[in-house]
């Protein structure tokens, strides 16, 4: 079972870090086509345990119907779409006690690729490509 410090060190060694705070590390994924996707990795407490959340913004809420978001959720192997403020985000949570760093890395890549694909499909203002 890695500690939060071990998880954040693992992330810092492998990714471009845009935000580095006590409870949150923000990563920028760069894709071969020049697009980028930001993922926030945040620690929180729930059910008497430490958890972490991966979250990436997809589009403003008015650019994807909530019905479409629910349909998309049914097809995801990882994560789910949620409404946070005025944005639709792709989010996944897991207990820190059970995290495997290899699985975390795979989850980061899957979440980034999925959020980027959804952003291309739904966001009117996304990366240039």
pLDDT digits (tens, 9 = 90+) for 15-35: 999 999 999 999 999 999 999
CATH of the domain at 87: 3.30.1460.10
In a domain, 70, yes or no: yes
Residue 128 pLDDT: 47
Model confidence pLDDT, tens digit, residues 63-122: 999 999 999 999 999 999 999 999 999 999 999 999 999 999 999 999 999 999 999 999
In a domain, 128, yes or no: no
In a domain, 94, yes or no: yes
- pTM, whole model, 2 decimals? 0.92
In a domain, 91, yes or no: yes
User: Is residue 127 over pLDDT 70?
Assistant: no
User: Is residue 129 over pLDDT 50?
Assistant: no
User: Domain span at residue 103?
Assistant: 4-122
In a domain, 10, yes or no: yes
Q: Which of 116, 110, 123, 122 is nearest to 68 (CA)?
A: 122
In a domain, 46, yes or no: yes
Total structural domains in the chain?
A: 1
For residue 1, name the pLDDT band (cuts at 50, 70, 90).
confident
For residue 56, name the pLDDT band (cuts at 50, 70, 90).
very high
Q: What is the DSSP string of 58-107?
A: EEEGGGS-HHHHHHHHTT-SS-EEEEETTEEEEEEEEEGGG--HHHHHHH
Residue 78 pLDDT: 95
Q: Which residues contact 91 (CB under 8 A, 6 or more apart)?
A: 53, 54, 55, 56, 79, 80, 81, 82, 84
In a domain, 127, yes or no: no
For residue 55, name the pLDDT band (cuts at 50, 70, 90).
very high
In a domain, 129, yes or no: no
């Amino acid at each position: 079972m890695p500690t939060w410090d071990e998880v954040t060190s693992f992330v810092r060694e492998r990714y471009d870090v845009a935000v580095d705070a006590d409870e949150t590390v923000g990563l920028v994924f760069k894709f071969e086509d020049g697009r980028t996707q930001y993922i926030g990795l945040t620690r929180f407490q729930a059910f008497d345990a430490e958890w972490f959340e991966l979250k990436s913004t997809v589009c403003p809420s008015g650019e994807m119907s909530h019905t479409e978001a629910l349909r998309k959720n049914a097809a995801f192997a990882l994560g789910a779409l949620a409404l946070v403020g005025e944005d639709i985000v792709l989010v996944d949570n897991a207990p820190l006690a059970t995290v495997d760093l290899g699985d975390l890395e795979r989850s980061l890549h899957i979440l980034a690729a999925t959020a980027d694909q959804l952003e291309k499909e739904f966001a009117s203002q996304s990366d240039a490509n």
